[in-house]
Chains A and B, each alone.
Chain A
Amino acid sequence: MTHARLLTLIGGVLAASPLIAQTSEADAPANPLKEAYFGEEHVHTGVSMDAFIAGNRLTPDDAYRFAKGEEIMVNGSLHKIKRPLDFVAVTDHSEFMGEAYSLMNAGAPGYDDEIAVAFRTAPDLETALGLYNQYVLIPLAGGGDPHPAFFQGEEAIKSTWQKNFEATETHYAPGTFTTIHAYEWTSAPGGSNQHRNVFFRDTNVPDLPFSSNEGDDPEQLWAWMQTQRDDGKKVFAIPHNSNESKGLLFAEASLTGVPIGKDYAETRASMEPLIEMMQVKGNSEVIPNFWPNDEFADFENAVSIQQFSGRGFVKENFVRYGLGRGIKYNAEIGVNPFKYGFVGGTDNHNGTPSNVEEDNYTVGSHGYADQTAEIRSTSVLEGEMLISDANPGALTAVWAVSNTRGAIWDSMLAKETFATSGPRMKVRVFAGQGFADSYDSYDALVTDGYAKGVPMGGDYTGTKAPQFLVWAMKDPIGPNLDRIQIIKGWYEDGEMKDIVYDVVASGDRLQADGSVTPIDAPIDMSTGAFNPDKGDPELAGVWTDPQWDPQVEAFYYARVLQLPTARWTLYDELRDGVTYAEDVKRELVERAWASPIWYEVN
């Protein structure tokens, strides 16, 4: 047995070990029909100062090892995920990266500063948050210098960014495990979440990441990104937590109050191909209040967010609204600024990428704040939400020709992506004309999809009602699928409208009138086990929009629902004997959201 092959076998852990002779990007196995690669696009290590404050001392190096399936000490207990990831982007906050250098590296300037020592040795979360508040949040809110006294200046920021860069390089194994150079730009003017994750295509990255200390308006971030592009760097940004944006993410005007015009829209569309649909702090697709006709809208909505920072929910917070507002802008000004494909992440602050398994959520996601079942069942995530309302986070899948940085980044830019609420189901969507009702093989279906249509993330440009070829398969270790839906949004007579179509259902449950007979497949409340028999492992079909009007702007995205499974709260109760409040959910319908396909009139 070869050395490399042998190592690959140790629990699947070493598949991407740097010990193995590196395959080059060009040599990585490629599939022209593309594979779905699953990964994390949003995770914080101890390098993010808020994570550090919450007790996280893990480095990007630890995070990458965790992603490959290695067991890592997380807040005092050894922890690992059941399934290694295909790719990871560590997205530490660019703000306070310099402070992280002094805090985390013994011997670094500032390491022995008394405030740095106090930060590092805070005996409990309360003390740590007090220090964070005193030395960071209050100066920041007051418009003063946000840096604590132990900050050593720009060189320290460069040093941290360089250390993250090196770990990201060390762990990249083309064909097996992809790492992406990335960080988070973190701006929340007036408590409105405007955060963006910034992704670079290759090793051509700037010396310094742009932070909200230099500019807290997204337009300033985009201007900086433009200078990077002018300099030959390839970069895009992904906004997240529109649910915490106070209606400002899909706004009528820029942050400075200028009504959104063509320049703004073009810049935004160019800089931001994707949006994070869901993460620990909630699913941002829709909520029942504003979408009462969507029977599956009540899903990980994290409604307790509204109790903090004045972040009441408005319809303008949600992704489906944003997609609609986008096509309305396209009708009005000829550009869609919100032409977003979908990704999912965790925003985990434990340095543990895609720790999304409901039955494995033993260490939480935010350090001391949700470290044990006992804490989770009673506590609040400071300034954010009730912990019982949080979820382990979501996952991104990218249809790419190979597991390499270039291929994954390119497919993300092209929006050939889908988000899942955690499980690894797969979904493909093509819009075109002339698809067959069924295909002899999976390969034939996909080949025909590309030949006669555009994949998810694309534009339908035909002159007849679009046909959608949809295909989905279950997560092999999860329950079967319930149905595939297509959500259509359109702009007509000055109004944004949307509707949910059930397009394929398991068994013979899809009726002639388009309704679906509900499936009765409850979980076992005493073990958390799902129903293994009902539903189908694969769903496929062709659906034609019955209401298409060539004069009307529209978007279409597929949503795949699986059968019910147990929520992490039930596992906490069964495993640790804690009790959650009556109204806390114990069961959920996990799902996948495929990036939209658009029909544009203009």
Chain B
Amino acid sequence: MLKTIAREPLVHFLVLGGLLFAAWSWLAPQPDVGPEVIIIDQARLDHLETLWTAQWKRAPADDDRAAIIDRHLRQEVFYREALRMGLDQDDDIIRTRLAQKMEAVSSDLGLLMQPPTEDQLRAFHAARPDLFTLPQAFAFRQVLYLPAEAGDAVETTLAALQGGAEIPPDRRNKLSVPLDWALTSTQALENAFGGGFAKALGTLPVGTWSGPVRSGLGLHLVQVTEGQPEQLASFDEIRDYVARQYEYYTVLDAQDRMYRDLLDRYEIRFEADGIPDSILQDYVRP
């Protein structure tokens, strides 16, 4: 019987509660200067009423207001006493919640930095050429022969084109691929042609028909009309785009940066066993 009672969670709770209360009465320092103050100012009351209104879809009546205030005071009193007794220490739920809140604050910091200054944007533009580089690009005309159609026709047509002939009608939109290509990045060209076609364009003369060049589709005669080398787009031309990317990456980076900064304020000592050196190294101070 006694064993059963001893296993009851409620009994645990009551006994533990009793002990806590006894300890508290004995240990807790009693305030010597009057009672502690809980202020309910206009801002606080407005906030509470707004939350209530959002939940209940109407403005609170006086009865409701009494309930709102009572509920708030109840929470506040228990909250303060819990803090006083250190109940927030080493509680996994509170630990997790606070850490998450701090993380959220760090990403909010990213947002609070807006709007960035001109200098910040220029620095970001310079620091991230991977985001702002115009890739190598080409404009050209092309004539396609499938592997099975190749042979003499390719050389014959090349000679004719070089002599100023028109593109043969049966080559127009071969495989639904257009003849004329406006300035297009090599990445997009590789997706459209495959087989290393885009890379080969850089080796061709500009202005004259040449080839054949192999692609994932077949063999191409190509007249490059414009070649543009890879280059960093000038800041002034893409300022808005830089700002958009800055905003995105700033938010992404904020959390990690804050974590690293905060981590630097601590010395991490490992007193547990079995942690590989590679992990220990990550946290050793230089």
* Chain A contacts to B: CB under 8 angstroms: 3, 5-7, 9-12, 14, 17, 19, 35-36, 73, 82-83, 109-110, 112-113, 121, 123, 152-153, 426, 440-443, 473-478, 532, 536-538
Contacts of A475 in B (CB 8 A): 194
Contacts of B215 in A (CB 8 A): 476
- Knowing A153-B57, A477-B191 touch, does A9 contact B241 (C-beta < 8 A)? no
Per-position binary interface string of chain B over residues 223-253, scored 1 when its CB falls under 8 Å from any chain A CB and 0 otherwise? 0000010000100011011001000000010
- Knowing A73-B252, A121-B97, A537-B216 touch, does A10 contact B176 (C-beta < 8 A)? no
B20-28, B66-74, B83-91, B165-173: which one contacts chain A?
Answer: B165-173
Q: Out of B96, B175, B176, B233, which one reaches A6, CB within 8 Å?
A: B233
Whole-angstrom CA separation of A440 from B170 in the bound complex: 5
- Knowing A17-B241, A442-B175, A443-B172 touch, does A536 contact B148 (C-beta < 8 A)? yes
Within 8 Å of chain A (Cβ to Cβ): is B162? no
| B148 engages A11 (CB within 8 Å) | no
Closest to B100 in A: A121
| B217 engages A6 (CB within 8 Å) | no
- Knowing A7-B238, A9-B135 touch, does A441 contact B170 (C-beta < 8 A)? yes
Whole-angstrom CA separation of A536 from B216 in the bound complex: 11
| A537 engages B187 (CB within 8 Å) | no
| A474 engages B217 (CB within 8 Å) | yes
- Knowing A9-B137, A82-B191, A441-B174 touch, does A537 contact B237 (C-beta < 8 A)? no
Q: How far, in Å, is B136 (CB) from chain A's closest CB? A: 10
Can you give 26 contacting A-B residue pairs, CB < 8 Å?
Answer: A7-B241, A9-B135, A9-B183, A9-B184, A9-B185, A10-B233, A10-B238, A11-B135, A11-B185, A11-B187, A19-B240, A110-B55, A152-B54, A441-B169, A441-B173, A442-B172, A442-B173, A443-B172, A473-B175, A474-B216, A475-B194, A476-B191, A477-B191, A477-B194, A537-B217, A538-B175
| B51 engages A441 (CB within 8 Å) | no
Whole-angstrom CA separation of A443 from B178 in the bound complex: 11
Contacts of A153 in B (CB 8 A): 57
Q: How far, in Å, is A480 (CB) from chain B's closest CB? A: 9
Within 8 Å of chain A (Cβ to Cβ): is B109? no
| A19 engages B241 (CB within 8 Å) | yes
Within 8 Å of chain A (Cβ to Cβ): is B192? yes
Whole-angstrom CA separation of A6 from B170 in the bound complex: 34
Within 8 Å of chain A (Cβ to Cβ): is B31? no
Closest to A120 in B: B100
Whole-angstrom CA separation of A79 from B135 in the bound complex: 19
Whole-angstrom CA separation of A97 from B132 in the bound complex: 36
Q: Out of B54, B148, B169, which one reaches A110, CB within 8 Å?
A: B54
Contacts of A123 in B (CB 8 A): 96
| A538 engages B146 (CB within 8 Å) | yes
Q: How far, in Å, is B246 (CB) from chain A's closest CB? A: 14
| A440 engages B169 (CB within 8 Å) | yes
| B176 engages A536 (CB within 8 Å) | no
Closest to A2 in B: B237
| B241 engages A536 (CB within 8 Å) | no
Closest to A84 in B: B188
Whole-angstrom CA separation of A426 from B176 in the bound complex: 9
Contacts of A477 in B (CB 8 A): 190-191, 194, 216
Contacts of B55 in A (CB 8 A): 109-110, 113
| A9 engages B134 (CB within 8 Å) | yes
Given contacts A153-B57, A441-B169, A538-B175, 15 further A-B contacts (CB under 8 A): A5-B183, A9-B135, A10-B132, A10-B233, A11-B135, A36-B176, A109-B55, A110-B54, A121-B100, A123-B96, A441-B171, A441-B172, A474-B216, A536-B148, A537-B217
Contacts of B188 in A (CB 8 A): 12
Within 8 Å of chain A (Cβ to Cβ): is B124? no
Q: How far, in Å, is A569 (CB) from chain B's closest CB? A: 24
Instruction: Scan residues 180-198 of chain B and give those whose CB is less than 8 A from a CB of chain A.
Output: 183-185, 187-188, 190-195
Within 8 Å of chain A (Cβ to Cβ): is B147? yes
Contacts of B185 in A (CB 8 A): 9, 11-12
Closest to B54 in A: A109
Whole-angstrom CA separation of A113 from B57 in the bound complex: 15
Contacts of B100 in A (CB 8 A): 121
Instruction: Scan residues 261-283 of chain B and give those whose CB is less than 8 A from a CB of chain A.
Output: none
Closest to B57 in A: A153
Contacts of B175 in A (CB 8 A): 442, 473, 537-538
Closest to A479 in B: B216
Within 8 Å of chain A (Cβ to Cβ): is B110? no
Whole-angstrom CA separation of A177 from B51 in the bound complex: 42
Whole-angstrom CA separation of A443 from B146 in the bound complex: 16
Sort A-B residue pairs by CB-CB distance and give the 10 closest, nearest first. A109-B54, A476-B194, A477-B194, A12-B188, A440-B170, A476-B216, A442-B173, A473-B175, A9-B134, A537-B217
Q: Out of A12, A110, A441, A473, which one reaches B187, CB within 8 Å?
A: A12
Within 8 Å of chain A (Cβ to Cβ): is B218? yes
Q: How far, in Å, is A548 (CB) from chain B's closest CB? A: 30
Closest to B144 in A: A537
Q: How far, in Å, is B95 (CB) from chain A's closest CB? A: 11
Q: Out of A109, A113, A476, which one reaches B192, CB within 8 Å?
A: A476
Closest to B240 in A: A19
